[in-house]
């Protein structure tokens, strides 16, 4: 081979490599970043068409399941909103951090720090008979809303519109929280994480939508065996079913908007409910009926379309999974674990559930579930299973069943859920007893399995230092010494040169938000996470917040 030929071939090879690298580089830079949309409904077990209920027509969610992955063993950590949503936003068990009682104050929706108020007496006593005021859960300094991680990574985070975290949502958690915000409000140069919450399936909508037309007839509903077949039951279940169908239509509208905007090709959609069903022995229950939820994940390329995944999943896993799918590793302290993506973790063996105070009613139950069996331990067995609760008795069938029970008119499975005291332990086989009405705790055939569940619960409670054993008033005093809410220290400004600002607060665990020029005075705060450059002609203000603390004052340079 001549030197000239060799040189020519080497030159050609370099050109080919250069073209390849340029092509690869261009393809990478032109690839759109992934967006994530959460569709969050309320108070609903897995009773959609895609989960086998042919009485409810949910074509939009059925299509989502057909194009995505459907999880059959997904569970909330509590059978009610606020403790469950605490776990979702923090990735931590509510019973680990003293956030297990429902609820601590009026934090359903975002309030500015100036709008937050607390009542010192709400007429509720803890298990020691002491007053429980309104308060905010104070988390350890390392616990923050997982959305702050996304914001630091450049994501626009918007929530329409429910928070309900057992603390007022920090102004650093979201770019915007409102009943009108949309994924369409995201800046064009930013990917987005958008949460759309629908209240249509909430417990309250059974009475609030009672005059809306029914789309499912009472004679067509499925009645769980623990309810008697009476008109009030059929009518309210028909309303429940009809509300689910109305919710499905709204889901379809949202997905159509994503498609119209050309976003389905780079958006992950995750649909879930915050806990199980909304009727008696469902909402606030610690068994399968209260904790089992639908969960569907649709990927942009319809990856694993139609797959059914039977792994044990907790709603705490949602945040870590979002981070993992976006190639972000979760903090080590999370109890939640990614179920997909780069940082996917090993499957869980069990899901754990809690039930404690619900409004004016106090109890303590813990549960262990593995998809087939349910183990429940009752720490206050002297109390009835169905306790009085003013809020849920606004549902016609609930108040009717309580009346029938008081007159001794219930029998069979319906009488079972109205037990006047509870066994210390319950154990159910969902394959043979889907409605959890045949307690087989004393069945010798299951003695070893029951012992495994019993040990799993004891180990878990020790591991998380279960706060349910403490009277709530004592927990509040640990959060707020002398019943005074701690306050976050003001932000301090350090200008290091060339307009480079460093912002700090002496409060450990504080997050800092800042506003510049025309944004000053709005409800939207940018999240400070690294030194920022502010030109001399610009004004900046900042304030700090730690979960459960009062926000700092607004300060400026």
Q: Which of 554, 103, 88, 99 is nearest to 295 (CA)?
A: 88
Inter-residue contact 58 to 279 (CB < 8 Å): no
CA–CA separation, 250 and 213 (whole Å): 16
Which one of the listed residues 41, 81, 157, 163 is annotated catalytic?
81
Q: Using DSSP bridges, classify how beta strands 511-516 and 69-75 pair: parallel, antiparallel or unpaired.
A: unpaired
Using DSSP, state whether 196 is helix, strand or coil: strand
CA distances from 62 to 70, 241, 294, 295, 500 (A): 10, 15, 11, 12, 52
Inter-residue contact 430 to 373 (CB < 8 Å): yes
Helix axes 231-260, 396-406, angle to 10 degrees: 150
For the beta carbon of residue 432, count every other beta carbon within 10 angstroms. 9
Structure tokens at 258: 């994503």
CA distances from 460 to 174, 366, 548 (A): 32, 10, 26
Inter-residue contact 64 to 247 (CB < 8 Å): no
CA–CA separation, 432 and 282 (whole Å): 19
Q: What distance lies between CA 92 and its chain's CA centroid? A: 11
Q: What distance lies between CA 242 and its chain's CA centroid? A: 24
**3-class secondary structure per residue, 468-486:** HHCCHHHHHHHHCHHHCCC
Q: Which of 83, 89, 80 is nearest to 169 (CA)?
A: 89
* Phi, psi torsion values for 379, nearest 5 degrees: -90, -10
Catalytic annotation present for 157? no
Which stretch of DSSP H or E encloses residue 369?
A: strand 365-369
Inter-residue contact 60 to 249 (CB < 8 Å): yes
Inter-residue contact 83 to 466 (CB < 8 Å): no
| Residues noted as catalytic | 81
């Amino acid at each position: 081979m001549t030197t000239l030929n060799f040189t020519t071939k080497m030159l050609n090879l370099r050109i080919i490599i250069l073209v390849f690298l340029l092509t690869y580089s261009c393809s990478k830079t032109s690839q759109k970043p992934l967006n994530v949309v959460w569709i969050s409904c309320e108070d609903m077990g897995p009773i959609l068409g895609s989960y086998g209920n042919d009485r409810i027509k949910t074509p939009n969610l059925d299509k989502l399941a057909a194009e995505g992955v459907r999880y059959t063993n997904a569970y909330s950590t509590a059978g009610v909103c606020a403790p469950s949503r605490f776990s979702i936003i923090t990735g931590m068990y509510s019973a680990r951090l003293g956030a297990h009682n429902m609820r601590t104050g009026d934090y359903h929706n975002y309030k500015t720090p100036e709008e937050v108020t607390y009542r010192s007496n709400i007429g509720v006593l803890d298990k020691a008979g002491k007053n429980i005021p309104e308060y905010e859960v104070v988390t350890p300094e390392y616990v923050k809303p997982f959305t702050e991680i996304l914001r630091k990574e450049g994501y626009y985070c918007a929530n329409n519109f429910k928070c309900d975290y057992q603390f007022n949502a920090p102004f650093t958690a979201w770019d915007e929280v409102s009943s009108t915000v949309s994924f369409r409000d995201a800046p064009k140069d930013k990917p987005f994480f958008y949460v759309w919450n629908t209240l249509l399936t909430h417990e309250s909508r059974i009475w609030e939508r009672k005059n809306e037309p029914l789309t499912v007839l009472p004679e067509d509903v499925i009645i769980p065996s623990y309810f008697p077949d009476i008109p009030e039951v059929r009518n309210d279940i028909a309303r429940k079913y009809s509300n689910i169908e109305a919710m499905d239509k709204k889901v379809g509208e949202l997905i159509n908007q994503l498609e119209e905007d050309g976003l389905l090709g780079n958006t992950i959609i995750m649909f879930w409910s915050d806990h199980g069903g909304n009727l008696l022995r469902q909402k606030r229950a610690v068994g399968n009926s209260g904790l089992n939820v639908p969960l569907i994940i649709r990927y942009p390329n319809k990856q694993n379309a139609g797959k059914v995944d039977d792994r044990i999943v907790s709603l705490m896993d949602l945040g870590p999974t979002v981070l993992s799918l976006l190639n972000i590793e979760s903090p080590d302290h999370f109890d939640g674990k990614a179920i997909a993506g780069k940082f996917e973790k090993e499957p869980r063996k069990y899901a754990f559930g809690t039930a404690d105070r619900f409004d004016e009613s106090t109890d303590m139950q813990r549960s262990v579930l593995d998809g087939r069996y349910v183990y429940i331990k009752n720490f206050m067995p002297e109390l009835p299973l169905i306790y009085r609760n003013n809020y849920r008795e606004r549902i016609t069938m609930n108040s009717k069943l309580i009346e029938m029970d008081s007159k001794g008119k219930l029998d069979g499975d319906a009488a079972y859920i109205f037990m006047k005291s509870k066994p210390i332990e319950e154990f159910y086989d969902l394959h043979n007893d889907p409605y959890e009405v045949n307690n087989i705790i004393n069945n010798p055939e299951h003695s070893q399995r029951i012992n495994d569940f019993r040990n799993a619960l004891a180990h878990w409670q020790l591991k998380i230092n279960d706060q349910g054993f403490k009277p709530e008033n004592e927990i509040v005093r640990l959060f707020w010494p002398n019943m005074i809410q701690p306050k976050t220290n003001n932000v301090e400004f350090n200008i290091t040169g060339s307009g480079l600002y460093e912002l700090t607060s002496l409060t450990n665990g504080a997050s800092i938000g800042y506003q510049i020029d025309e944004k000053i005075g709005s409800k939207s705060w940018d999240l400070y996470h690294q030194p920022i450059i502010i030109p001399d002609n610009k004004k900046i203000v900042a304030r700090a917040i730690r979960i459960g603390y009062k926000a700092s004052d607004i300060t400026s340079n």
